[in-house]
Amino acid sequence: MLGAVIGLVFAFILIALVMRASAGNERMRQISGAVQEGAKAYLNRQVITISAIAVVIFLLLFFFKDHPTAIGFVIGAFCSLSAGYIGMRIAVIANVRTTQAATHSLLSALRIAFNGGAVTGLLVVGLALLAVSIFYTIASNMVGHDLAIRSLVGLALGASLISVFARLGGGIYTKASDVGADLVGKIEKGLEEDDPRNPATIADNVGDNVGDCAGMAADVFETYAVSLIGAILVGALTLASEPAAIIYPFVLGGISVLGAICGVLFVNFARGKPASVLMGAVGTSALISAILFWPATHRLFPNGITIGGLARTPTQLYCASVIGLIMTAVVVVITNYYTSMRYRPVQKIAYASETGHATNIIAGLAVGQHATALPVGFIGIAILLSFHFAGLYGIAIAVMSMLSMAGIIISLDSFGPITDNAGGVAVMSNLPKEVRSVTDQLDAVGNTMKAVTKGYAIASAGLAALVLFGSYVEELKAHVTRNGEPFAFQFSLTEPKVIIGLFLGGLLPFIFTAFSMDAVGKAAGAVVREVRRQLQAKPGILTGQDTPEYGTCVDIVTKAALREMIVPALLPLVFVVAVATIKPLGPVVLGGLLVGTIVTGLFVAIAMTSGGGAWDNAKKFIEEGNLGGKGSFAHQAAVTGDTVGDPYKDTAGPAINPMIKVVNIVAILIIPIFF
Amino acid sequence: MLGAVIGLVFAFILIALVMRASAGNERMRQISGAVQEGAKAYLNRQVITISAIAVVIFLLLFFFKDHPTAIGFVIGAFCSLSAGYIGMRIAVIANVRTTQAATHSLLSALRIAFNGGAVTGLLVVGLALLAVSIFYTIASNMVGHDLAIRSLVGLALGASLISVFARLGGGIYTKASDVGADLVGKIEKGLEEDDPRNPATIADNVGDNVGDCAGMAADVFETYAVSLIGAILVGALTLASEPAAIIYPFVLGGISVLGAICGVLFVNFARGKPASVLMGAVGTSALISAILFWPATHRLFPNGITIGGLARTPTQLYCASVIGLIMTAVVVVITNYYTSMRYRPVQKIAYASETGHATNIIAGLAVGQHATALPVGFIGIAILLSFHFAGLYGIAIAVMSMLSMAGIIISLDSFGPITDNAGGVAVMSNLPKEVRSVTDQLDAVGNTMKAVTKGYAIASAGLAALVLFGSYVEELKAHVTRNGEPFAFQFSLTEPKVIIGLFLGGLLPFIFTAFSMDAVGKAAGAVVREVRRQLQAKPGILTGQDTPEYGTCVDIVTKAALREMIVPALLPLVFVVAVATIKPLGPVVLGGLLVGTIVTGLFVAIAMTSGGGAWDNAKKFIEEGNLGGKGSFAHQAAVTGDTVGDPYKDTAGPAINPMIKVVNIVAILIIPIFF
């Protein structure tokens, strides 16, 4: 709790710092205001839609499960929504100030944008730590330790479910408006990005805030809270006699807040290339955490702990926690390689664009698939090692320590949409070209950072989901009896039901992303038609004599996003309940399903987010003047690739992350109801 | 054996029938001759390349395993290569005759093309049945029953490994030349498909024969032989005391040859729309088989059989076999829905093309992913039911009966490339447009049939691989001892090693297809550069005054295909051996790997083959005059989609099919060497 409070205080200092910066001239504030208004309007409507569904689930939990779980659900949902709001509010404050700072220097723009991101990072992490710890403390006192632990699963469900909605709704919004704006504006009419003559341009900028900022903040809140809860659950289910096992995850989280603060300070004082400064911040943060974990672990487990019948030394637990930090670094480096324009994969896509749209797409798809190999390999190593050090609890600790880096990592992620928007404000306010060039440089770094943090999010989600699967098995063991005796289900690969479960689970990420991409396609089509209609009705828009009606595009995409998010978001929930209740299936098939979803989900998500990031930067690589530069044949092909990559990397791919956890959490929750 | 011989005799009658048809005028024979020569030249060089690798593996088996297995490997490899040759030879004979028949009527062209395909179908199935049964009979007499059964795995490896090479080499060849020809010819220069002024056009037509005909024939030979061997293996390992259990798979195969012959006769006498006639043939064939299976099963198991401690009636076994037939029908119907232009998915892609290249790609990717849901669902049901009826043996029987339909199914598959080539011959021989229109109609049907048969191939491959995984577990149980006692490994999902195996196995299809697509991209790039060079050096080519040098394109793509197939083809082999030998991994991780490969392989393969087929037919839908027809903006986008779909559906996707079996077979083979 102390760590969380320190983080929150530091975040407020940063807010003051950002607010103090100049918000630019009248025109800039006007545009930023329009974006802010659109974003707020969308989030408000999203809250109403989601609340309707949340109320139904709350009532189900209230009447069919227990009250603490239902209340936990409400708290998780509320915090997840708040995290989204925070992310959006900070971003719209920071973006216009970044534009203004960009009129002075690259470094000051970098710092404003990063500090804006850091506020979100610290607030979200602080919120998650506080919410879980306060809820746990109060619930333990009121309903006892056991039920308190179990009702944390409700909190996890609230966080995850809202996060799926926020990721999908925001993702559909941002990409539908982006794709729609690009297809007519850039490709048909030859307008620049963010040209104020494009009727969809405000919607596009609103999208960056509701998707990349709000959606991402909700998502990371969820990942953080669920990993923490997963670690507590495993600690409680397998090490019931060791209270320190439950406290340890909280301690790791609290310490890393200090690490994150050091990382933020690093950015504000270091000089150098943007990418190097940001990477340096991650390194600093990880190093500080690694150093502080050592005394904390030894203090908490002075005599070690017995796990799975073996005595484990505090050093072994420490090793498990360091694995999480190393994994963060490894995933960041690998994803950076596949998505930064300085390396071969992105350049390969750029060169493939010279022979046309199709070869660009083929190359991008291949890069995305290649990008799965190393992360998955390292995840395997991390599982092997952390299990070796401390069994399933070791994996849970590694995940928690990986997630404890979230504070600094979200700072990087938020940085992307803030600079993207800053560029939009610059163009729409007719600021000199040099300003746009500064924000463009930051934007390219932001693209890579976004891809990197998505790689991090999905890798940690995969591990967190495995921990949840472990909890599912333990919970099942604790709950199910046959003839009065406790009964342990076997999940052997030689059992056809397990294989069927793997197939059904493996299917989920495929159709989930298929629905998400369809949703973006449909919503983007509506935007395209509206933009074409406006340009036809008022030919003066293109010559600058008429003002486009930005509001109608915002309205269309708002409605479309809210409508289209429902089916994919409810899909995993329905799937799990169906498998649990349809007769020849049941708990064993469900176990297979959980693992199957994790396995294919990991691959699909990494392939989509890395591939999408690589496409985006391949376009940027050409726009920097390579291979003919802007307007060349290669550039057109690269724009196609970028547009395909948009729903990949910002809608479907990242939404898999909360989705695989929803599946696991729902499975844990329904054990006492159906089995 | 009797069934096989009847099938072969009938095939020779069909050859005579096809040969009797007119081969058209001088110009047609000339073009067909050029294609034939290119195809022969490529296959010869492919044989040399593959033989070098096959010799190494033969020597390894000879010295580290036993001699019968090594000899089995040679026989499997030889037969697989022969099947490829047969497929190619028949196709080049049939295509020009189809063109000639198309000058008379649609129906006669359909029959020639189908009969050509049917020859391949019957020869391949006959060859597989004969090879396995003769080898088994001789080996049993010479080295005893047990070793004979085990050495069948060598035959399976020979068939599978060659098939991976043939699928990849042929697939890279056909798609590199196709993509290369399209990118310059169609998109840059606005030439029609198969325009003789395009220097890559002969290479393109050669590709259809070496990829879709030779590659596919080798592939189906492999699937058939491996499913048969898998069923025998499961029969021998789990039902050692029941000789009928080993004979039953052969009997099912033999009977279905008769079913296939009836299907062929149906096509030659029925009238109606091409698609309905072909579907009618599949129905007839399945019905005849279902009727004949009944007395055969009761005759072979008059008193039933005991499996897994339960007495099973002959009717239960019969039900397992009928499940395979029903699965065939189900997969055919589902894939037809997703890839035929008469239904919504393909039309959705076509409509998405109106808003550009990117939305076409997004829609196509989504359709491919959606297309995985139903087949996988039904595979789950098939596993559940056939296991219910007769345990693992029941699954093996269902797979074998599904594969027993291969005779008629390949006839459909071969039909596609034959009509594709027939169209090429028509254009290059300057035949009247009506002829091309007839072949185009058949080609559209052929596209769907190709997608349908690929869905069938991958669904059956998934089931066959599961049977092989069952054999791996049984073989491991039979072989491994700890302290002198037999030792059974556990493959529980709660064991981290199994999870790691699932991850590593899940990875394989992703990087395998990534490498394959890269290979096509690289080879296509080489073709593009050569075509551009020729058109620049000799501007007279485009005006018709100069003849292009077709030979150099054929040469370039031949070399590129042979070079690029090596890495992906050896990847699964190296992967399995690495997992088996690297220390902390071993048999349990390997078991997880086998299942992981099956799970993601199934999804990736179905998504790729269905998506590719849908893209292709979306283009055809527009070319029929919808949405602006040829040359419209939508058509350009649809051509991009088709080009992306090419390596999906004809290289990477179908190559997964033999790949997942190679992985399983190699795992079985190395048990006594490493564990």
Interchain CB distance below 8 Å, A361 and B644: yes
Cα–Cα distance for residue pair A161/A185, rounded to 1 Å? 35
Interchain CB distance below 8 Å, B369 and A510: yes
Cα–Cα distance for residue pair A359/B187, rounded to 1 Å? 13
List of E strands, A57-195: none
Please tell me the distance in Å from B221's CA to the nearest CA on chain A: 26
Interchain CB distance below 8 Å, B355 and A528: yes
pLDDT class of B5 with cuts at 50, 70, 90: very high
Interchain CB distance below 8 Å, B525 and A473: no
**A244: nearest Cα among A322, A306, A151:** A306
In this predicted model, what pLDDT tens digit does every residue of B34-78 receive, in sequence order?
Answer: 888 888 888 888 899 899 999 999 999 999 888 999 999 999 999
Please list the residues that pair with A306 across neighbouring strands: A311
Cα–Cα distance for residue pair A190/A308, rounded to 1 Å? 64
Three-class SS of residue B429?
coil
User: CA A491, A493, A494, A496 torsion: positive or negative?
Assistant: positive
Query: Residue B669: which H helix or E strand, with range?
Result: helix B653-674
B446: left (phi over 0), alpha (psi -120 to 50) or beta: alpha
List of E strands, A457-575: 481-482, 485-486
Three-class SS of residue B305?
strand
Cα–Cα distance for residue pair B597/B592, rounded to 1 Å? 9
pLDDT for B323 equals 96
**Structure-token pair, residue B294:** 């009944």
Instruction: Look up the ipTM and state it.
Output: 0.93
Q: For B457-472, what is the mean pLDDT?
A: 91
Chain A interface includes B365 (CB < 8 A): yes
Contact between residue B513 and residue A369 where contact means Cβ atoms under 8 Å apart = yes
pLDDT for B508 equals 96
Cα–Cα distance for residue pair A110/A411, rounded to 1 Å? 12
Q: For A572-577, what is the mean pLDDT?
A: 93
Three-class SS of residue B312?
strand
In this predicted model, what pLDDT tens digit does every residue of B385-407 receive, in sequence order?
Answer: 999 999 999 999 999 999 989 88
B-facing residues of A in 578-637 (CB < 8 A) are 584, 591-592, 595-596, 599-600, 602-603, 607
pLDDT for A602 equals 95
**Structure-token pair, residue B130:** 């004969």
| Mean pLDDT (chain B, rounded) | 91
Residue type, A354: E
pLDDT class of A486 with cuts at 50, 70, 90: confident
> What pTM was estimated for this model as a whole?
0.93
Angle between helices B633-647 and B145-181 (to 10 degrees): 150
**Cα-trace Rg, chain A:** 24
In this predicted model, what pLDDT tens digit does every residue of B421-455 receive, in sequence order?
Answer: 888 888 888 888 888 888 888 888 888 888 888 88
The number of residues in chain A equals 675
Interchain CB distance below 8 Å, B496 and A384: yes
pLDDT for A301 equals 93
Q: For B326-341, what is the mean pLDDT?
A: 92
CB pairs under 8 A between A and B: 216
Cα–Cα distance for residue pair A91/B312, rounded to 1 Å? 68
| A469 CB neighbour count, 10 Å cutoff | 27
Cα–Cα distance for residue pair A446/A415, rounded to 1 Å? 6
Chain B interface includes A495 (CB < 8 A): no
State how far the alpha carbon of A466 is from the alpha carbons of A234, A392, A395, A396, A569, in Å.
Answer: 11, 9, 9, 9, 21
Non-local CB neighbours of B228 within 8 Å, separated by 6+ positions: B128, B129, B132, B249, B250, B253, B400, B403
Contact between residue B264 and residue B443 where contact means Cβ atoms under 8 Å apart = no
Contact between residue A83 and residue A221 where contact means Cβ atoms under 8 Å apart = yes
Cα–Cα distance for residue pair A118/A125, rounded to 1 Å? 10
Q: How large a percentage of chain A has pLDDT more than 70?
A: 100
pLDDT for A86 equals 85
In this predicted model, what pLDDT tens digit does every residue of A332-375 receive, in sequence order?
Answer: 899 999 999 899 999 999 999 988 899 999 999 999 999 999 99
Interchain CB distance below 8 Å, A599 and B466: no
| A344 CB neighbour count, 10 Å cutoff | 11
Q: Which of B361, B608, B635 to mutate to test the interface with A (most CBs of A within 10 A)?
A: B361
* Residue B310 backbone phi and psi in degrees, to 5: -115, 140
Which has the higher per-residue pLDDT, A266 or A410?
A266
Residue type, B572: P
Interchain CB distance below 8 Å, A369 and B510: yes
Q: Which of B357, B593, B627 to mutate to test the interface with A (most CBs of A within 10 A)?
A: B357
Chain A interface includes B51 (CB < 8 A): no
Please tell me the distance in Å from A520's CA to the nearest CA on chain B: 9
Please tell me the distance in Å from A363's CA to the nearest CA on chain B: 7
State how far the alpha carbon of B653 is from the alpha carbons of A624, B425, B446, B560, in Å.
Answer: 35, 28, 18, 19
Query: Residue A311: which H helix or E strand, with range?
Result: strand A310-312
In this predicted model, what pLDDT tens digit does every residue of A370-399 receive, in sequence order?
Answer: 999 999 999 999 999 999 999 999 999 999
Query: Residue A168: which H helix or E strand, with range?
Result: helix A145-181
Residue with token string 């000339």: B30
Q: For A264-269, what is the mean pLDDT?
A: 91
Residue with token string 């004082």: A269
> How far is the first Cα of chain A from the last one, in angstroms, to the nearest whole number?
37
B-facing residues of A in 500-519 (CB < 8 A) are 500, 502-504, 506-507, 510-511, 513-515, 517-518
**B28: nearest Cα among B95, B112, B117:** B95
Q: Is the pLDDT of residue B596 over 90?
A: yes
Of A377, A491, A511, the CB nearest to B494: A491
Three-class SS of residue A58?
helix
Q: For A661-670, what is the mean pLDDT?
A: 93
Please tell me the distance in Å from A458's CA to the nearest CA on chain B: 14
**A575: nearest Cα among B377, B595, B330:** B377
Residue with token string 């790689």: A455
Of A376, A500, A596, the CB nearest to B383: A500
Chain A interface includes B647 (CB < 8 A): yes
Cα–Cα distance for residue pair A600/A276, rounded to 1 Å? 33
Q: Is the pLDDT of residue B187 over 80?
A: no
In this predicted model, what pLDDT tens digit does every residue of B190-203 receive, in sequence order?
Answer: 888 788 888 888 89
Please list the residues that pair with A485 across neighbouring strands: A482
Interchain CB distance below 8 Å, A499 and B640: no
Cα–Cα distance for residue pair B645/B259, rounded to 1 Å? 33
| A628 CB neighbour count, 10 Å cutoff | 14
User: CA A529, A533, A539, A545 torsion: positive or negative?
Assistant: negative
**A323: nearest Cα among A372, A292, A286, A295:** A286
Cα–Cα distance for residue pair A504/A485, rounded to 1 Å? 30
Please tell me the distance in Å from A601's CA to the nearest CA on chain B: 10
Q: How large a percentage of chain A has pLDDT more than 90?
A: 55
Cα–Cα distance for residue pair B360/A553, rounded to 1 Å? 22
Burial class (CB in 10 A: 0-12, 13-18, 19+), A490: middle
Contacts of A390 in chain B (CB under 8 A): none
DSSP letter string over B241-269? T-HHHHHHHHHHHHHHHHHHHHHHHHHHH
The number of residues in chain B equals 675
DSSP letter, residue B191: P
Residue type, A567: V
Of A507, A602, A639, the CB nearest to B373: A507
**Structure-token pair, residue B50:** 């593959």
